[in-house]
Amino acid sequence: FAALCAFAAPVAAAALKSDAARGELDVSGSQLERAVDSEPKGRHLIFTSAGDNSGLLENWVGPNANYDIFLVYYGKNDTRYAMYERACRWTTRVTGSKLQNLNAQLYQKRMDIFLKSDYVFVLDDDFMFDNGVKDINKMFEYSRKYNLKISMPSVDASRSVLSHFVTAHQNSNNITLAYTNFLEVNSMLFTQQALRNFLEKYDPSIIGFGGDYLAFCANGYYAERDYAVIHEVVAVNPRVRKATGKRELHKLKDWDKRAEVWHNYAKEIGCKPVYGKLVYSVVRNLDGVEQEDTCVHKDMCQAPWCFDFKKIDPPSECEDTFAKALGVEDYQPSHPQLFVNGTLADRWWTRVRDAVKLEYGA
């Protein structure tokens, strides 16, 4: 992997050694000698906390990557860490959740890197892209093209944990992206300013759950063109680790109390703990010509990407079908009966009654 990613280190070796003595910098291997500057390729940065069972080296790393990776390793395997060192530009070893490490290791300790990153893609280490590096490049490209404050890839619900319909991949209807009021914390691509806004409100007690709601509290709930799901990029958020059969989340302290912690903190700082999900409009590519379609109330029966499955006043002509969906308490958006060839089935809401309760993830 040495040829795939460049390495960098802090500005001056003396200053770096001083930082390292205070525990503020990882100096394993020859990282100090790899100092050139702190600007990531393309001014695009991926941040992640990774363990021993991630497939990111095979999926995120490649010679055509227009970004660099800042990786915090929370495991204990020296061989694994050495692999990450060779493949990623910045690495360090610290325990903690992704958001805790994002705040402490990047924002608090490496502001030099942060300030030279126009966009920061904050990814779970098990989040995999169908086309690897090509898809990640496209995420940065589209975020710039459409001037998005925060974006995320669409999620193939037939292979993933899916907590919200607005993020489910639509491979029909030529959808390029969908403007929405919500994105998931597992794969949020921020502008530098949007991430700064988020981290200025962040508290280390938030290990994952609620991080997405906090991002919108920090950057505004109601902007109709600032946040989007990129449907031309498809990713998988696996239900469990293939290697272990378990979720990495469960290794964190108090992981089972994360929802309660978020609700208490949201109340303390004046954020909405939860809210209804909306899609404002979709951008389509029709024979090379872009067209934006607004979600119109009366058309919701025919436009599943506009459907907020928790809070909706259905139009009278499809009231019965929506009532079936809304009347079911136990549901699972990733249930296979709701999907055909990886996308939502026609009139999928009539199938909700057959689904089982969703396991919400952080």
Q: Is the model more confident about 205 or about 243?
A: 205
* Res. 196: pLDDT tops 50: yes
Closest to 117 (Cα-Cα) out of 67, 49, 153, 50: 67
Model confidence at 131, in pLDDT bands (50, 70, 90)?
A: very high
Q: 85 is written with which tokens?
A: 């060192």
C-alpha 211: how far from its chain's center?
10
Are 361 and 237 in contact, with CB atoms under 8 Å apart?
yes
Q: How far apart are CA 221 and CA 217, in angstroms?
A: 6
Q: Which among 151, 294, 296 has a CA at the least distance from the CA of 232?
A: 151
pLDDT at 206: 93
239-261 mean pLDDT: 60
Return the pLDDT at 243.
Answer: 55
Q: pTM for the full model?
A: 0.76
pLDDT digits (tens, 9 = 90+) for 136-166: 999 999 999 999 999 999 988 778 877 777 8
Tell me how far CA of residue 311 lies from CA of 78, 268, 275, 326, in angstroms.
Answer: 49, 25, 9, 8
Task: Give percent above pLDDT 90 in the chain.
Answer: 52
User: pLDDT tens digits, residue range 298-355?
Assistant: 455 555 556 554 444 444 445 444 444 333 344 344 455 555 554 555 545 444 444 3
Residues whose CB falls within 8 Å of the CB of residue 224, separated by 6 or more in sequence, listed in order: 179, 280, 281
Q: Give the HSE-up count for residue 296: Cα atoms under 13 Å, Cβ half-sphere.
A: 5
16-53 pLDDT, tens per residue?
433 433 334 444 433 433 345 799 999 999 999 999 99
Q: What is the pLDDT of residues 94-111, one digit of tens each?
A: 999 999 999 999 999 999
